[in-house]
Structure 1
Amino acid sequence: MTDFFKDIPRITYQGPEASSEFAFRHYNPDEVVLGKRMEDHLRFAVAYWHSFAWPGGDPFGGQTLDRPWFGDTMALAKQKADVAFELFDLLGAPFYCFHDADVRPEGASFAESLRNLEEMVDYFGQKQASHKTQLLWGTANMFSHRRWMSGAATNPDPDVYAYAAANVKAMMDATAKLGGQNYVLWGGREGYETLLNTDLRAERQHAGRFLQQVVEYKYKIGFKGTILIEPKPQEPSKHQYDYDVATVYGFLKEFGLEAEVKTNIEQGHAILAGHSFEHELALAASLGIFGSIDMNRNDYQSGWDTDQFPHNHPEMALAYYEVIRAGGFTTGGTNFDAKIRRQSLDPEDLVLAHVGGMDTCARAMKAAAALWEAGDLEAARQARYAGWDTPAAQAMLKGGLAEAAARVTAEGLEPQPKSGRQERLENLWNRFV
């Protein structure tokens, strides 16, 4: 045990009228919603990087957080793991997620970095054996180190591609060993800044082949989890090859991977792409590539990815409604890819940020579930498209353009606009949130 979270109690559900700030008011893990425990619906995960590796910097300033485990030794890496699992225990979190660089010191060579990673994976294995919290997904950090400045799989240097392959192989091995339920690829620098020095076709081909190799390796090692790719539109690269869900789906189709790879969708990335979170979730579900989510929010007055904890439950309810419509999570979950503010220095701030985020998501899920159970919104949606269930409409889809056009004269069609009833449905929504 460390003393980092000393005097902070284990967080339990105490109801909406709880007097203590160290309590869940809406998240009751054992509450049954739509026939399933709340914990099993939401599948919360704590992000190792933001919670334990982030020093508190932003684009205009450096470190503000002073943590006793900051440093480049294995002893400090293990101390960080000890503190991490103490937070997991306080929250009762069922899952966590990590990058390789979050948990092990960078070695003087790849071989040394790999040894450090393997030692930490063994340490995590010991922790998981004696704690509730297990691994939701692992991933490789291929964006922070200077070697990745021109990308990883899309790098013009084939030696960097090889280094990326070695990193991903190592982390897929680690994820499989720890029983991770997914493996995520996040192309933080898989894009370009200027066409003056970029071969778009070559970079896309290399990225596609890399992802094919990842899937091939999944089967080679017998990894049973899901491969996820995380869309992101920009920041830091000006043009990303994984801009949004639609772009990712086109990429997967091009390389024959649409049945092998799903998406890990982040709220902040959806906003940066000019979409809503619920749009990206609904689109992914409709395309059959919905997998998992990174839960956070952006400051809507900032033009970059601020990774704040969610606190707007009506907004999150829209997202969880689409998760419910998609059939819920299977191997995926709700990963808090969120960090406390750089002025929030105390251990209590880290705990309470997660408490608030978990409560916000639970409140949102319950509102979305209640509306889903009532059925009014789905009934209205089905009624709007009911005309397509008629034999004439179905025959029109199966026939040609001329046959469809012939209906206009044959049946004397003069279609009149019908109300979309948006305001009524918004009022309906607001009755539940």
Structure 2
Amino acid sequence: MTNYFDTIDPIKYEGPATNNPLSYRYYDAQRTIMGKTMAEHLRIAVCAWHTFCWQGDDNFGQHTFDRAWLDHEDKIERAKQRVHATFQFVEKLGLPYFTFHDRDVSPEGSTLKESNANLDIIADLMASEMQRTGIKLLWGTANAFSHPRYMAGAATNPNPDVFAYTCAQVKHAIDVTHRLGGANYVLWGGREGYDTLLNTDLKQEADQYARFLSLLVEYKHKIGFKGLLLIEPKPCEPTKHQYDFDSGHVLAFLERYDLQDEFKVNIEANHATLAGHAFSHEVAYACAHNLFGSIDANRGDPQLGWDTDQFP
């Protein structure tokens, strides 16, 4: 197994006065505050998505990052190396958790059966790495937005075949999350919205999305998954308008369909600012309405109108 970070020492707490850029100035994992360690309070995780999949490209240019774990031609071997790199990185940081989208860690197949089989292969490896390192899974989720089938929505797609495919993909993703002992399962509805009202039936799509969430709740209880179901609000991008616009919209939707006891929110800082809110507003609102579940810690660029997912 290749050691991708062998030239870097484990990252340690050195205090606010340190000049070492590869150290923690304020995060002291074992420091006890109000009866809990900082590690217990913060539950910091590394997401496999941008960290290990993005290659430094944008809409106007090609890849600029040299990611050795992406060099393998065989798609399964490439996925395995990405998992090894992920766990090595989390180990170096001394953090307790990782997270994943299904397509972060395993390749899409030509059929649902093949895609599920690919994820199962990688899930075995993730389970082995979790046992080796003691690193736990904070949340898993399904990427129901990148494939062309989701162009007009996933759970809100007017095509019943796409709706069924979405349900099947999410089912397998939560199965793997449950198997790996995940603490939460996340839903980010990047395609659950519209680009134009001219071909959108808002009531139909809301009812359909609620049906999808109800099916997920039913399945969660059926398999005995004890983690939280988290909805991640975002106002737009890639759609013009996303139905999970912000915490207030999520709360109204959940209460309308009597789902408020089954879901919390996963608040991302840059999503809050895109919705015209301060990050602190979204957190405070969610806490005030018993909706707070987790935080996706990042920041955006106030001069740009899209989610830049920069390090916080």
Shorter-chain TM range is over 0.9
1:128 aligns with 2:130: yes
1:185 maps to what in 2? Answer: 187
- More helix per residue: 1
| In structure 2, distance between residues paired with 1:56 and 1:147 | 25
Between the two structures, name the one with larger relative contact order (CA 8 Å, sep ≥ 6).
1
Match of 2:239 in 1: 237
2:112 alignment partner in structure 1: 110
Find the aligned partners of 1:114 and 1:6 in 2 and give their Cα distance. 33
Correspondences of 1:290-309 after superposition (within 5 Å): 290-309=292-311
**TM-score, with length taken from structure 2:** 0.97
Counterpart of 1:22 in structure 2 is 22
Aligned counterparts, 1:1-80, within 5 A: 1-70=1-70, 73-80=75-82
TM-score by length of 1: 0.70
Tell me the secondary structure at the aligned position of residue 69 of structure 1: helix
What pairs with 1:17-416 in structure 2 (closer than 5 Å)? 17-70=17-70, 73-310=75-312
- Checking the alignment, whether the CA contact within 8 Å between 1:46 and 1:97 is kept in structure 2 is yes
Kindly indicate whether the alpha-carbon contact (under 8 Å) linking 1:72 and 1:106 is maintained by their aligned counterparts in 2.
no
Please give the alpha-carbon distance, in whole angstroms, between the structure 2 residues aligned to 1:233 and 1:106.
Answer: 27
Q: How far apart in 1 are the matches of 2:19 and 2:274?
A: 37
Q: CA deviation at 1:288?
A: 0.9
Alignment partners' CA distance in 1, 2:57 and 2:192: 23
For the residues of structure 2 that align with 1:72 and 1:62, how far apart are their CA atoms? 21
Residue 404 of structure 1 corresponds to none
Aligned partner of 1:323 in structure 2 is none
2:243, 2:56 → 1: CA distance? 28
Q: Radius of gyration: which is bigger?
A: 1
Contact (CA 8 Å) 1:99, 1:138: kept in 2 or not?
Answer: yes
Kindly state the Cα deviation for residue 72 of structure 1 after the two structures are TM-superposed: 5.4
Amino acid at match of 2:39: E
Return the letter of the residue paired with 1:165. Answer: C
Superposition deviation, residue 136 in structure 1 = 0.2
Q: 2-side partners of 1:60 and 1:305: how far apart? A: 17
Gaps of 5+ in 1: 311-433
- Secondary structure in structure 1 of the residue aligned to 2:84: helix
Q: Which amino acid aligns with 1:177?
A: R
Q: Which residue of 2 aligns with 1:324?
A: none
Q: Note if contact 1:138-1:184 (Cα within 8 Å) is conserved in structure 2.
A: yes
In structure 2, the gaps of 5 or more residues are none
CA drift of 1:57 comes to: 2.3
RMSD of aligned Cα (Å): 1.1
Preserved contact between residue 231 and residue 264 of structure 1 (Cα < 8 Å): yes
Q: Distance in 2 between matches of 1:19 and 1:272?
A: 34
Tell me if the contact between 1:208 and 1:255 (Cα under 8 Å) persists in the aligned partners: yes
Q: Is the 8 A contact 2:3 2:88 kept in 1?
A: no
How far apart in 2 are the matches of 1:250 and 1:24?
Answer: 40
| Distance across 2 between alignment mates of 1:305 and 1:59 | 14
Provide the residue aligned with 1:422 in structure 2: none
